Amino acid sequence: MGFSHSLTTFVTLTLLGASSLVSGRSLPKGEIVRRALPPSRFKCTYPEGWKMCNEEKRECWVRRPDGFEFNITTDYEDFIPEGIQRNITLELTETSISPDGIAKPLAKLINGTFPGPLIEACWGDTLQVTVVNKLPDNGTSIHWHGIRQLNTNHMDGVNGVTQCPTAENDSFTYKFRLTQYGHSWYHSHYSSQYGDGIAAPLLIHGPSSEDWEFEAEPIVVSDWLHESAFKEFGKEYHGPGLPAADSILINGQGKFYDQATGVAAPGGNFYKYPQKFEAGKRYLIRITNGSSGLHFHFSIDHHTLRVISTDFVPITPYDTNSLSVAIGQRYTVIVEAKPSAPSNGKFWMRTEFAGGLCNTALRGVSTSNRDQQRTGIISYVDTPEDTLPESTRFAATIACADEPYAKIKPKVEWNFGADKIQNDYQKNTYEAGLENVRRRMKATHWAISDMPMWLDMSKPTILQTKNDSSAWDPEYAIVNYNYINGDEYVIMVVTAGSLDQTVNRFSSWHPIHLHGHDFVVLAQGTTKYSRTESPKTFNFNNPPRRDVVMLPAGGYIAIAFKPDNPGVWLLHCHIAWHAGSGLALQVMERQSEIETSLGTGALDPIREGCKKWDAWTQLPGKFNPKDPEHGQEDSGI
């Protein structure tokens, strides 16, 4: 049967004294009446006899006929509702658009829009998404950021790792179950392609850590380039300068400022939050950083952000007035319509950023001019449409650091001790940095393993899992994690800069993303890692858990995950230019079980796609990665 999950789901009425209802029945003092608002366009469907409970309390989701309740404390790695299959078709095309008032001639779009269409589903559903590639002279692959892909490694969407690129005029169908809930994004993992527009929000409806009344579309914040991202990437190797974006967009709207005059190009717009605020109401806002190179702080003037989730992990709520969001990270916040200072009924939404190692300067947004970093508008009811906010910013410090470690406390706890660690993590320590030797493209590269990653997109790793480790190409940066106890943990330590490498590596900030897993952050140090002293600081008592974490410049991170998902999983910096340069490795997890876990014939479409890709690269005038003059120029991811 179907259940409606409304985008404006309930109104809460607290009765301060005994009151009569229309029926004549009186309620005792303090009882809460919850009335469902009209159903929205979106519907969650579960089996006959299952009952939704999310309109009773947001922490609850659905109850089975036997009384078992799926809620905010349910371990979603072990217990998943029985959803339905949702079928979607996406078409990728290339055209010119001007979201900030300046034309981008080679924008790449999903179903004709940037960002692409919101994909919505419900906890436990299965998505089947057919991606049709109509991009001229480009392959593609679509990654479902943060999705666990339990026993569906071949659906992870990373060319050169889990598939070959989907060739022009070909299609590929992804199918996977949504074992988590929350919001994320889906994007191309083909070279620099998502920086040209192949990115879009993904929303999986489920429970929340705290009650709220209204929600609207997720917010995707992205830096935007007028030039092709592929061309911009070339600066990573040979300059002049470093790759840089031009402007900041929220859901495809923004402004480009002439830095000589401070005047914005005509045609650009501030993002207007689609729901008018009503005093005292609580609004759920979902924020995603879908940038190529921008780390930002999100805030709404005079309003407190109550943070209730990090990435796909619900947490104990905490309050802040400025939220630091790394590339690939997501946060869900509740905002009460109760401003701390008056304005004119409108308030600025800000996406502020720092310079230095944190961000390359944007060409059309000044690093020092906070007014140019005002990107959206929140309006209260009964305010004129044609006026701008008169609000002022919080005195927030803008930096590259993650949200405070101690504030992130998952609702579903992972507590364990050193006796539950399977690996010798002193042998699984990796150094992320920019090398000082020249390799491919006669350039220096970012790396995290022994060699910078460089993939042959025609030979994805998933088709090579029968090979002995001695046959692995060193440039594939494969590390062996064949640990068989899925209830215990393995640790990875990543340092910013050199630790043991004979090749010196330059330290910087990096948003580190692991595919196929949530991980706990045992430590996030801002000083150089010590093999003897740093492990003494590891936190095994419900540490923060997520799928993207900031590696501090000059410091280190120690992360742990359960090796319970056979596959080849990418770990990489989510700064697109660093990943393209080679800052990535592949975690080979339970190698002997990978093909079996996928099921009989699961790799047949992968092999067929590789044949079509290889044939397309041989056509006259098409991109051939092996062309010595005009071939592959980056790692492939």
* Per-residue pLDDT tens digits for 182-218: 999 999 999 999 999 999 999 999 999 999 999 999 9
Residue 32 pLDDT? 32
**Rounded mean pLDDT of 281-310?**
97
Render pLDDT for 421-450 as a digit per residue (tens, 0 to 9).
Answer: 999 999 899 999 999 999 999 999 999 999
Closest-CA residue to 377 (of 290, 255, 504): 255
- Triad 575, 579, 583: Cα angle to 5°: 110
Render pLDDT for 566-597 as a digit per residue (tens, 0 to 9).
Answer: 999 999 999 999 999 999 999 999 999 999 99
- Phi, psi values for residue 96, rounded to 5°: -100, 135
Token couple for 279: 């005093």
Give residue 389's identity as a one-letter amino acid code: P
Residue 456 pLDDT? 97
Residue 14 pLDDT? 28
* CA distances, 141 to each of 178, 188, 218, 384, 608 (Å): 19, 5, 23, 44, 15
Render pLDDT for 218-272 as a digit per residue (tens, 0 to 9).
Answer: 999 999 999 999 999 999 999 999 999 999 999 999 999 999 999 999 999 999 9
Residue 70 pLDDT? 98
Can you tell me the distance from the alpha carbon of 167 to that of 141, in angstroms, rounded to the nearest whole number? 9
The pLDDT confidence band at residue 295, using thresholds 50, 70 and 90, is: very high
Can you tell me the distance from the alpha carbon of 141 to that of 189, in angstroms, rounded to the nearest whole number? 6
Residue 8 pLDDT? 34
**Rounded mean pLDDT of 391-407?**
95
303 contacts 347 by C-beta, under 8 angstroms:
yes
Which residue segments constitute the domains of the chain, with CATH numbers given? 51-205 (2.60.40.420), 214-410 (2.60.40.420), 418-618 (2.60.40.420)
**Rounded mean pLDDT of 363-392?**
96
Query: What is the percentage of the chain residues whose pLDDT exceeds 90?
Result: 88
- Phi, psi values for residue 232, rounded to 5°: -65, -35
Q: What is the DSSP letter of 568?
A: E
Render pLDDT for 119-152 as a digit per residue (tens, 0 to 9).
Answer: 999 999 999 999 999 999 999 999 999 999 999 9
Render pLDDT for 113-122 as a digit per residue (tens, 0 to 9).
Answer: 999 999 999 9
Closest-CA residue to 549 (of 522, 589, 568): 522
Residue 355 pLDDT? 87
User: 3-state class of 55 per DSSP?
Assistant: coil
62 contacts 400 by C-beta, under 8 angstroms:
no
- Does residue 7 carry a pLDDT above 50? no
- Does residue 282 carry a pLDDT above 60? yes
Q: What is the DSSP letter of 534?
A: G
* Buried residues in 34-54 as b, exposed as e (16+ CB within 10 A): eeeeeeeeeebbbeeebebbb
Residue 360 pLDDT? 85
Token couple for 361: 């300067």
| Burial zone of 385 (CB within 10 Å; 0-12 exposed, 13-18 middle, 19+ buried) | exposed
**Rounded mean pLDDT of 322-343?**
97
Residue 357 pLDDT? 85
Render pLDDT for 594-612 as a digit per residue (tens, 0 to 9).
Answer: 999 999 999 999 999 999 9
- Does residue 629 carry a pLDDT above 90? no
Residue 467 pLDDT? 87
- Does residue 5 carry a pLDDT above 60? no
**Rounded mean pLDDT of 30-54?**
67
Can you tell me the distance from the alpha carbon of 159 to that of 613, in angstroms, rounded to the nearest whole number? 11
Question: In Å, how far from its chain's centre is CA 617?
Answer: 31
Render pLDDT for 460-513 as a digit per residue (tens, 0 to 9).
Answer: 999 999 888 888 999 999 999 999 999 999 999 999 998 876 778 999 999 999
Can you tell me the distance from the alpha carbon of 468 to that of 225, in angstroms, rounded to the nearest whole number? 42
495 contacts 430 by C-beta, under 8 angstroms:
yes
Can you tell me the distance from the alpha carbon of 141 to that of 164, in angstroms, rounded to the nearest whole number? 8
- Does residue 23 carry a pLDDT above 60? no
The per-residue pLDDT of the chain, averaged, comes to 92
The pLDDT confidence band at residue 31, using thresholds 50, 70 and 90, is: very low
pTM listed for this prediction = 0.93
Can you tell me the distance from the alpha carbon of 250 to that of 287, in angstroms, rounded to the nearest whole number? 10
**Residue owning tokens 């071949």:** 154
361 contacts 367 by C-beta, under 8 angstroms:
yes
Q: What is the DSSP letter of 251?
A: T
585 contacts 449 by C-beta, under 8 angstroms:
yes
Q: How many CA atoms lie within 13 A of 601 on its CB side?
A: 0
Q: How many CA atoms lie within 13 A of 473 on its CB side?
A: 14
21 contacts 29 by C-beta, under 8 angstroms:
no
Is the N-terminal amide bond of 389 cis, ω within 30° of 0?
no
Residue 356 pLDDT? 85
**Residue owning tokens 């079996």:** 596
The pLDDT confidence band at residue 554, using thresholds 50, 70 and 90, is: very high
**Rounded mean pLDDT of 90-108?**
98
Count of beta carbons in the 10 Å neighbourhood of residue 117: 13
Please list the residues that pair with 432 across neighbouring strands. Answer: 496
The residues, any chain, with a CB within 8 Å of residue 600's CB and separated by 6 or more, are none
Closest-CA residue to 447 (of 475, 424, 472): 475
Residue 41 pLDDT? 54
**Rounded mean pLDDT of 145-172?**
98
Can you tell me the distance from the alpha carbon of 557 to that of 159, in angstroms, rounded to the nearest whole number? 27
Question: What is the DSSP code string of 104-163?
Answer: EEEEEEETTBSS-PPEEEETT-EEEEEEEE--TT--B-EEETT---TT-GGGS--BTTTB
